[in-house]
A and B are shown apart, each in its own frame.
Chain A
């Protein structure tokens, strides 16, 4: 039997290339395939307000044609070999994810290097992609959960980049010209701050050589650094907004506050507390109250995003429109209890065991390990983080959870966004 061990300094290889790219590697010779994933320091945070969606539009257009290959040739190379690669935009970064049979590592890294460095943004492809993005936004406008999430962000993140949707609005997508994509790419895409994680049935030296060959001589001397995030004004009371979308059977509730960033010392404590509140078993206390005891929703839970900045601490539920107020009241009750009473030692022990026990499960696949390595780098957690993790979790106590909960949550200081059909008779 092979003894599996958690990734750590002894088996993660970390290299910084001279142009600023960080490469993280962990071989897995049980695997026939390889995952290549990572990010660049160029996201929606660099967009002007009138061009929202520009970073994502640029990222999606990269694979539409390069100096050497057109759209069909790029995808033919990948798909003929059963490989897959996607590049998409986020708030702080442009992310990429690809997988292939291990023998096709060069194909994957080569395609990544070529599309990142030499895109030509063919005019017909840009227009085709624009139509696809506008259709996605039309579909988004009909999605009650998505619309409630957009409203929630506007309520909580006033004057903050997190109030803006990464995929923009129809009017901003229509206003983006091909030259905007070219200029955004030229200025913001570069190796500085880029991280690439490679996990699978490939040799470490072979993987390093591949990255060096296809990306090692990339330079962009004008690449800007990430701007600081503005400070966020906490909510002083509860603000609510309701959006009517005709013809929907179910309404969605998205409520909550801004939570701690991933690097905050509060994050892990809040995350473990949130597991008790709205995740553990069948969605924790929130699921117990809204679903199990009251039968008011198929889905009701809470989540904490973390991230570079103060990502949201969310409470979400999909409910009959007539039950919205009842469900909001139940969630408020649970928040009130959570900030007034420490969690029980049994609840804490359950969630600690859950967090520690599920770690190896999340690291079963190449994709899971590759993503875990990216988190180490993105949040400066240290290569030994996963080996320290069980002790970090065991060290959290009910008093800390209570104190952290009180710092972030209050039942009368919430943003509450709802979307659904509220004018339906009857």
Chain B
């Protein structure tokens, strides 16, 4: 994987990752900024995501109505994502059309206009996006669990922000956020596809080297104190279905224990799929599926952990069977966890989880967009080596590591437990 990977830093601090792949005449460009919802203080929650929206509202060179069409016009597709730790923009295009995307991203790093009327009109769009999410019981439950799990750390709030802040934030707040974090020395450019490294690098230098480095933005650091006991929340809302979310404090992505927990998750709820594009594997032979769904305590169970800079959460979401309760599911889940705490899993079970991880990695590696995503993504919380050594580090996990993680991470005192209770009498 590392063979044709080029890594360098421009004089203004922009980090560049390039990988040639010539199987299809396609190039995928991703630009990553080290800013996400964890960089927002109360009053400004949702600012990173709102900035992401404003990045499609035009620059003098690519005005509104042009910027959002240039990629489509060339047959490409583009999108953007705001996460806890980062914000990313990508364009995947026919290889001979990539220049427009290179120009666009270099331009809007500095020149997005944030025209006041557009900021104002986007306020209601973002609120509408939040309202759409609020229609979903699992969003409402997840928001409550997340805020209970983090009292101090800014992982406390949802990425989209609190409604009160979405109403009160002003254009200056959003623009200041943009100017603070959107500088070349706070960004990573990852490009994969059908290009020649030297020629695309020359073009990148032409476009980006005139951009001056800014003050290095300081990430907001508020360390979450250790959790001293189980936390429980409940949410009531419409519907007939009860949901249970169990979230354990989890290691950060560059902690070796992250990989042990990854395999532990595979055993409990099926293989983790960190691909943005690419297939996964079902989880019907996982331990919790057998204990909960096959025993008809639940109708579905899914789990996963996020790769983050600071310790975040390992989360399992259970749709409770209509004839049972969340408590029944918690009891059965604890019994399964206890087995892993009492004895290490068989080696053969870890080997099986590894084959699943290799297969998922192979599915994801076939997409050029996914490879470009992975390279930049890994830089956001560790380094590109995290991606290239991912399978090796999984393979190094021992049964004793998995047992230790079950003992240390999956303790009730380390979790926040949330239940969504249907309240069909809500007017």
A interface, CB within 8 angstroms of B: 1-4, 30-33, 71-72, 75-76, 78-84, 86, 99-101, 128, 131-132, 134-135, 138-139, 141-144, 245-250, 280-282, 288, 291-299, 318-320, 350, 353-361, 364-367, 423-424
Contact = CB atoms under 8 A, between A and B. Distances in A.
A298 B125 contact: yes
Interface stretch (B23-31, B181-189, B203-211): B23-31
B128 A79 contact: no
A80 B285 CA distance: 9
A1 B22 contact: yes
B283 A79 contact: yes
A101 B363 CA distance: 8
Contacts of B279: 84, 99, 367
A247 B424 CA distance: 9
A343 to B, nearest CB: 14
A367 to B, nearest CB: 7
Interface string B282-314: 111100001001101001100000000000000
The 9 closest A-B pairs by CB, nearest first: A357-B75, A82-B359, A295-B121, A247-B238, A298-B129, A249-B131, A250-B131, A281-B69, A295-B124
Interface of B: 22-26, 56, 64-65, 68-69, 72-77, 92-94, 97, 120-132, 134-135, 137, 194, 237-241, 270-271, 277-285, 290, 293-294, 296, 299-300, 319, 321-323, 352, 355-360, 362-363, 365-368, 423, 426-427
Contacts of A359: 75
B198 to A, nearest CB: 15
Given A246-B238, A247-B237, A350-B73, A298 B282 contact: no
Contact of B285 (A75, A280, A354): A75
A138 B75 contact: no
Given A350-B72, A353-B74, A361-B94, A72 B296 contact: no
15 contacts: A3-B25, A4-B24, A31-B366, A33-B362, A79-B282, A82-B359, A131-B323, A135-B321, A246-B238, A246-B426, A250-B128, A292-B121, A299-B129, A353-B75, A365-B277
B282 A84 contact: yes
Contacts of A357: 73-76, 93-94, 97
Contacts of B25: 3-4, 360
Contacts of A294: 121
Q: Which of A99, A141, A142 has the most CB of B within 10 A?
A: A142
Contact of A350 (B69, B132, B271, B321): B69
B284 A75 contact: yes
A364 B355 contact: no
Nearest to B71: A281
B241 A82 contact: no
Contacts of B241: 135, 138-139, 142
